[in-house]
A and B are shown apart, each in its own frame.
Chain A
Amino acid sequence: AQRVTQPEKLLSVFKGAPVELKCNYSYSGSPELFWYVQYSRQRLQLLLRHISRESIKGFTADLNKGETSFHLKKPFAQEEDSAMYYCALTGGSEKLVFGKGTKLTVNP
C-alpha cells in the first residue's frame, strides 16, 4: 500500500530562516514523489518532483530511500512561501496519494 506521512500540521518560521517540511512515505517498490503547493485562494499546483531534481522558488527535495523520506527544504524562507504544502506519491500506477499537508506560515 502507498502511504504518505507529513508529521507537522503547522509550521511557523521567520522570514530569512531555513525551513524544512517533512515527508515520509511507505511503498515497497520504486516511488515517484512530488511536492504540491496551494497558495491562499488558488488551486493546487506542482512545486517539484524528485525525478527532475530541480530547484523551484528556492525549494529543493531529495529522495532518501534508506530513510523513506522526501523532505522539502529552503535555506531562506520568504513571506510569499506561506501556503499549504502537500507531499504526494505514486508507485507508477494511476493513483496519486497525498499526505495530510503542512501549513507553512512565514512571519515578517
Chain B
Amino acid sequence: NAGVTQTPKFQVLKTGQSMTLQCAQDMNHEYMSWYRQDPGMGLRLIHYSVGAGITDQGEVPNGYNVSRSTTEDFPLRLLSAAPSQTSVYFCATRRDRGGYEQYFGPGTRLTVT
C-alpha cells in the first residue's frame, strides 16, 4: 500500500498563476485534510473532508479551494497564487473522527514568486 501520496514534491509559481496540489490515499479513510506548515506557525488546517462530496473550511481557507468527488482523492486548488502561500503543504487522512491516528503525506514545497 502506498498510503498517502502527494504530487508534486516541489513547485515554483509566479504570482497570479493557478495550480492543483494532488493528494491520494489507498487506505479507504473517510477523513482527509490539508494543512500548511510555516516556520513558527506550526500546522494550520486549510480545508478538510469527512467523506466524498463533503468538505468544510479549516483555520486558513482563504485562497484555496477543495473538492472530494471520490474517497481516494482530495485535491487542493490555488486559484491565484500569492507569495503568502509559499509554504509546505501536507495532506492527511484519518479513519474516523476522534482518537484515531492521522496519516500524513510527504508534503509539497510550494514557492510563489
By size class, the interface of chain A is: 20 to 34
In the complex, which residues 2-28 of chain A have their Cβ closer than 8 Å to any Cβ of chain B?
A: 6, 9
Q: Please report A residues at the B interface, Cβ cutoff 8 Å.
A: 6, 9, 32, 34, 36, 43-46, 49, 51, 86, 88, 90, 92-101
A97 to B43, CA, bound (A): 8
Given contacts A43-B107, A44-B90, A95-B58, contact A86 B98 (CB under 8 A): no
Number of A-B contacts (CB under 8 A): 55
A86 neighbours in B (Cβ, 8 Å) = 42-43
A93 to B56, CA, bound (A): 12
The interface bits of chain B over 69-97 (1 if a CB of A lies within 8 angstroms of the residue's CB, else 0) are: 00000000000000000000010101001
Q: For the complex, is B101 an interface residue (Cβ under 8 Å from A)?
A: yes
Min CB distance B29 to A, Å, is 12
- In the complex, whether B33 has a CB less than 8 A from a CB of chain A is yes
Q: Could you tell me if B43 and A98 are in contact, using CB atoms closer than 8 angstroms?
A: yes
Contact A90 B99 (CB under 8 A): yes
Contact B99 A51 (CB under 8 A): yes
Interface size on B, residues (CB 8 A): 26
User: Using Cβ atoms and an 8 Å threshold, which residues of chain B touch A43?
Assistant: 90, 104-107
* Interface flag for B2 (CB, 8 Å): no
Q: Across the interface, name the chain A residue whose C-beta is closest to B58.
A: A95
Candidates A45, A46, A51, A96; contact of B33 at CB < 8 Å: A96
19 pairs, CB–CB < 8 Å, chain A vs chain B? A32-B99, A43-B106, A43-B107, A44-B90, A44-B92, A44-B104, A90-B97, A90-B99, A92-B98, A94-B50, A94-B97, A95-B45, A95-B48, A95-B58, A97-B45, A97-B59, A98-B35, A98-B43, A100-B40
